[in-house]
Amino acid sequence: MASRLAFIADWLDPNSGVLWRYQLFYYPDTGEVEMFDVKNRRHFLKRIKYDGLAAEQLFPGAVVTVYARQLRVTDFGDDATRRAVEARAERTLAMVKPDAVRHTGKILQAVGGSGLQVANVRMARLSRGDAQEFYAAHADAPYFEKVRRGRAPDAGAAGVGWCGSTRQWGALGPSACARS
pLDDT, tens digit (0-9, with 9 covering 90-100), for 131-148: 777 777 877 887 777 666
101 and 76 both lie in a single domain: no
Stretch 49-76: mean pLDDT? 92
The parent domain of residue 164 ranges over 89-179
pLDDT, tens digit (0-9, with 9 covering 90-100), for 68-114: 999 999 999 999 999 988 887 776 777 777 777 788 888 888 877 77
47 and 9 both lie in a single domain: yes
pTM score of the predicted model: 0.59
- Contact (CB, 8 A) for 26 and 59: no
Instruction: List, in sequence order, every residue forming a beta bridge with 32; answer none if it has no partner.
Output: 27, 49
- Domain of 117: which CATH number? 3.30.70.141
Query: Amino acid letter at 140?
Result: D
156 and 142 both lie in a single domain: yes
Between residues 14 and 132, which one has the greater pLDDT? 14
* Number of domains comprising the chain: 2
Report the length, in residues, of the chain.
180
96 and 171 both lie in a single domain: yes
pLDDT at 3 over 70: yes
Q: Which of 55, 87, 119 is the last residue of a domain?
A: 87
Helix and strand numbers (H, E) in the chain are: 6, 9
102 and 173 both lie in a single domain: yes
